[in-house]
Structure 1
């Protein structure tokens, strides 16, 4: 419990979370993307909402927007400071609210016990952007106007406490008060809670907007249904081009050759082709030619008669017979032995096979889809692959592009995999952080979708329940994956993070054996010297104020005889 004058912990840990990435055009708070938006522009948006849909509807939308923002910051607060000191962890919210430029927050009283579910909080607000914006547009009001800010406070406390905490604005600058005052406690402890809870609920306007969005999504789904089959997900032009080729081939009996790097999903495209074809009620049989010893490929493909070779104690049908009427998928066909290639060519041309060790011809009706990550034309030149078989298979080639060329496909793939592995491991995961998703799109994906699948599963396992998958759980090392960033120094200035020059300076400092005090004294001397005695200019070079510089100079018994111009 704390009463008046509660001192905030240093916010250095929070400032480090704010990063500016000019190369990407992004601002980050930890792993959440932020916006640096003109307060006047946001105030204009409030005005348009109020004038367009009325004050009650606008208040509801803005309150719910703030509520959602508060929930996100509460998740961050628990991670940054933990819960060893619950109050220190809780005031991350007010400190972030200030750091984000919303309002100056002074705690008046905080009484909380998370296990017991007890909470009471009273805070003073100064410099509320929302109160100022409302006053500017509408003049003095009878009711408090900091709707988005009060929504943030309620959302933050609710997520932090794990129960609905309702904050009310008791007095507001928009009503003529010198400052704003807010009080929060569990919703059931407010006798007039029913007057305020509707602002946190969806309304007819919002519901209608959601209905319209659903209608649009349904229409979009109907327009893009041709791009959706089981276990095949993508939205990029490269994906759509490959899928259109599959869809056109599906209704024919043409043999298809799928090419692409390992892990791009060639088998899934083959299954999609089968699903879209008239053979979809018949078997889909897959075989990996590279996974079998050369001497077993023929028996696996074409079957074997009893006694054909040592160990063949019973007759057995091969993949062709099992796939009769359906589709046979031959993965890694470039690794098929030459003798088996000859028999495969006959099966493709004549539609008939013979079991190993037998002399009976068996008619089969099979659609063959082959796949390779090798250059079959080069294999033909080297004599490793039959040219006649290549030309027979290459009637309808489809190239599956690598994941690095399909960045638009990464978010829907990641979310589908997240859903899959959350169910598999019995965890509730709310999603991926903005930063994690950005780096996923930046990564080169040498292992393609298979690598993404493994990465998302690891992220689900390591993520906290009801939390998000963090960047660090996906990529233990982040070398060359993030754009250069700048952060906020303790003096409020923007400073570069991890530049090569900084690293070299640190290396030189550690190698010199100099003490911190001697390096500081050297910097003071050098800044004054370069500024020709102008202490104000020297202070600017160091990123500190002139009084701070003067104090350090006096402390180091260094004095300047030059005049401060």
Structure 2
């Protein structure tokens, strides 16, 4: 009875969505997989035969622990729709909802303030125990390792404290039922069972294999580290490979790409991996400096050169001497500045504005632009001789929409960078949120993604998941490609076609909007037995919105 009430109270069935067209199943914001139990059983058997019982048991326990934490995060989101104990009991219901096992809490000693849990849970219909008996028969060991790990992960995440379940009865060893008991980790003392939660280095045969692999790696040429550049898509790797080949040379590099693709990051990597790494890296945005000041900024100014020049000042070329100078948005330079820039590139000599002294500089120039310089040359806005000087070694950086497979990597790297800045720690970005991110076309490219992740770090609760509502608090942007996203960020609504047919029929029959809305409100309120909070959750609106509509219709 409790199980049925919780399923209805928290509207769990509506959180499970099947999208046949896109080949995805969702439980809230977590992507799920519907797999054959026999196939999972075969994989489990192979783990035992390949790794040995001890390592296989530890691996299954830790896998279960990770899934338990995700289910706890879903349950925690429901706080406010019921009391803490009801929300806590969602854990066993979710595990049954996922087809793993029917769990029933038979004893529970909970201290909500201290975050302590001592309890006993009975398991019925454990797929893990059934498949273990089928493949190995009954024996002396318990078999529900991933289920025990799930319970440990769920309760540990829920109470923010390491709480460990251990199986004390199991049908796989001839008991009449499976039973797991829980207590805080420290209450288990020095029980060696706790070692299963720690990843191991492996048995001797695996150490021998690792040693052999290390020997092979030692004979391979070292692979250049990407550092702060993140990506594995073909477009990114092609650009990165070109950049790496130029790093050890003095060649002038022209970085091409849309605004926000990370041209300055590429330029910094080039500098940090070049023989000039110990020298300065100086960046100047040519498009952000007024035309009448750009020459003094680049080449410097001598005192008295013009009104307001009260002291001599070196330009960016002099400041970058011995290092690298990034000329960002070089396509915005005036023709007069282009002439002087070409001379510096050809001679390596700089003359400050208002001075006749020549100063030699050794600078590696990296130019960057989002302008089509060939078209600018044809239109007479850019000197052809300067273009050919800068375009000796062009590197095209693809826009983010053409390297969407890099989005999970970029988002994770940005999250890792921002966590210590804001003093927060997160479990990661939910599966559903990643789907929404990958469905977006990113006109602002990596810079837009970085801003979005930073905002989500501020909005998301500490120790939780980054979800769609944190990334897009006002709803996902319109015009997504690759998937449709509704106002809650749900990708590829599975019933879109059916809904379209239903609404078409309703309109054809003469649709009374107010009457249908009033009826829906009454049905939801009756189903929630008068509890407006529960009724609002069923309808997908806030309690305040529901109360207003009910009052308006009264």
Q: Pick closer, same or farther for the CA change 1:112–1:347 going to 2, 3 Å.
A: same
Q: Report deviation, 1:371.
A: 1.2
Superposition TM-score, scaled by structure 2 size: 0.81
- Does the Cα contact within 8 Å between 2:3 and 2:93 map onto a contact in 1? no
Q: Pick closer, same or farther for the CA change 1:103–1:519 going to 2, 3 Å.
A: same
Greater shift, 395-404 or 198-207, is seen at 198-207
- Residue 512 of structure 1 corresponds to 512
Correspondence for 2:390 among 388, 393, 402: 393
- Residue 75 of structure 1 corresponds to 73
Determine the C-alpha separation between the residues in 2 that align with 1:115 and 1:206: 42
- Residue 552 of structure 2 corresponds to none
Count of equivalent residues: 509
Q: Pick closer, same or farther for the CA change 1:517–1:298 going to 2, 3 Å.
A: closer
Q: Report deviation, 1:189.
A: 4.8
- Residue 66 of structure 1 corresponds to 64
Q: Report deviation, 1:222.
A: 10
3-state DSSP class of the match of 1:16?
Answer: helix
- Does the Cα contact within 8 Å between 1:306 and 1:314 map onto a contact in 2? yes
Determine the C-alpha separation between the residues in 2 that align with 1:283 and 1:250: 15
Determine the C-alpha separation between the residues in 2 that align with 1:218 and 1:449: 38
Q: Report deviation, 1:50.
A: 2.9
Deviation per residue, 1:349-379 (Å, 9 max, x gap): 2222322222233333322221110111221
- Residue 254 of structure 1 corresponds to 251
Q: Report deviation, 1:513.
A: 4.9
Q: Report deviation, 1:6.
A: 7.9
Q: Report deviation, 1:310.
A: 1.0
- Does the Cα contact within 8 Å between 1:21 and 1:485 map onto a contact in 2? no
Q: Report deviation, 1:408.
A: 3.4
Q: Pick closer, same or farther for the CA change 1:341–1:483 going to 2, 3 Å.
A: closer
3-state DSSP class of the match of 2:297?
Answer: helix
3-state DSSP class of the match of 1:155?
Answer: helix
- Residue 367 of structure 1 corresponds to 364
Determine the C-alpha separation between the residues in 2 that align with 1:167 and 1:393: 65
- Residue 546 of structure 2 corresponds to none
Deviation per residue, 1:128-167 (Å, 9 max, x gap): 2122212222333444322221222222122222333333
Q: Pick closer, same or farther for the CA change 1:206–1:38 going to 2, 3 Å.
A: farther
- Does the Cα contact within 8 Å between 1:106 and 1:125 map onto a contact in 2? yes
1:423 matched to 2:420? The reply is: yes
- Does the Cα contact within 8 Å between 1:22 and 1:485 map onto a contact in 2? no
Determine the C-alpha separation between the residues in 1 that align with 2:217 and 2:405: 17
- Residue 343 of structure 1 corresponds to 340
Deviation per residue, 1:423-456 (Å, 9 max, x gap): 1111122322222223323321111111111111
Gaps of 5+ in 2: 487-492, 521-554
Determine the C-alpha separation between the residues in 2 that align with 1:59 and 1:244: 42
Determine the C-alpha separation between the residues in 2 that align with 1:337 and 1:160: 61
Deviation per residue, 1:241-268 (Å, 9 max, x gap): 2222223333333322221100111122
Matches within 5 A, 1:67-466: 67-82=65-80, 85-189=83-187, 194=191, 196-203=193-200, 205=202, 226-466=223-463
1:472 matched to 2:469? The reply is: yes
- Does the Cα contact within 8 Å between 1:21 and 1:484 map onto a contact in 2? no
3-state DSSP class of the match of 1:408?
Answer: helix
Determine the C-alpha separation between the residues in 2 that align with 1:220 and 1:446: 40
- Does the Cα contact within 8 Å between 1:172 and 1:180 map onto a contact in 2? yes
Determine the C-alpha separation between the residues in 1 that align with 2:228 and 2:402: 20
Determine the C-alpha separation between the residues in 1 that align with 2:33 and 2:335: 61
Q: Report deviation, 1:39.
A: 1.0
1:500 matched to 2:500? The reply is: yes
Q: Report deviation, 1:176.
A: 4.5
Q: Report deviation, 1:421.
A: 0.9
- Does the Cα contact within 8 Å between 2:142 and 2:170 map onto a contact in 1? yes
Q: Report deviation, 1:347.
A: 1.4
Q: Pick closer, same or farther for the CA change 1:17–1:312 going to 2, 3 Å.
A: same
Gaps of 5+ in 1: 487-493, 521-565
Larger radius of gyration: 1
TM-align CA RMSD: 3.5
Q: Report deviation, 1:106.
A: 3.2
- Residue 539 of structure 1 corresponds to none
Determine the C-alpha separation between the residues in 1 that align with 2:425 and 2:239: 34
Determine the C-alpha separation between the residues in 2 that align with 1:426 and 1:518: 47
- Residue 45 of structure 2 corresponds to 47
- Does the Cα contact within 8 Å between 1:105 and 1:124 map onto a contact in 2? yes
Determine the C-alpha separation between the residues in 1 that align with 2:509 and 2:80: 34
Superposition TM-score, scaled by structure 1 size: 0.80
- Does the Cα contact within 8 Å between 1:242 and 1:398 map onto a contact in 2? yes
1:28 matched to 2:26? The reply is: yes
Greater shift, 267-276 or 370-379, is seen at 267-276
- Does the Cα contact within 8 Å between 2:441 and 2:481 map onto a contact in 1? no
Q: Pick closer, same or farther for the CA change 1:5–1:195 going to 2, 3 Å.
A: farther
- Residue 15 of structure 1 corresponds to 13
3-state DSSP class of the match of 1:98?
Answer: helix
- Does the Cα contact within 8 Å between 1:111 and 1:120 map onto a contact in 2? yes
- Does the Cα contact within 8 Å between 1:23 and 1:483 map onto a contact in 2? no
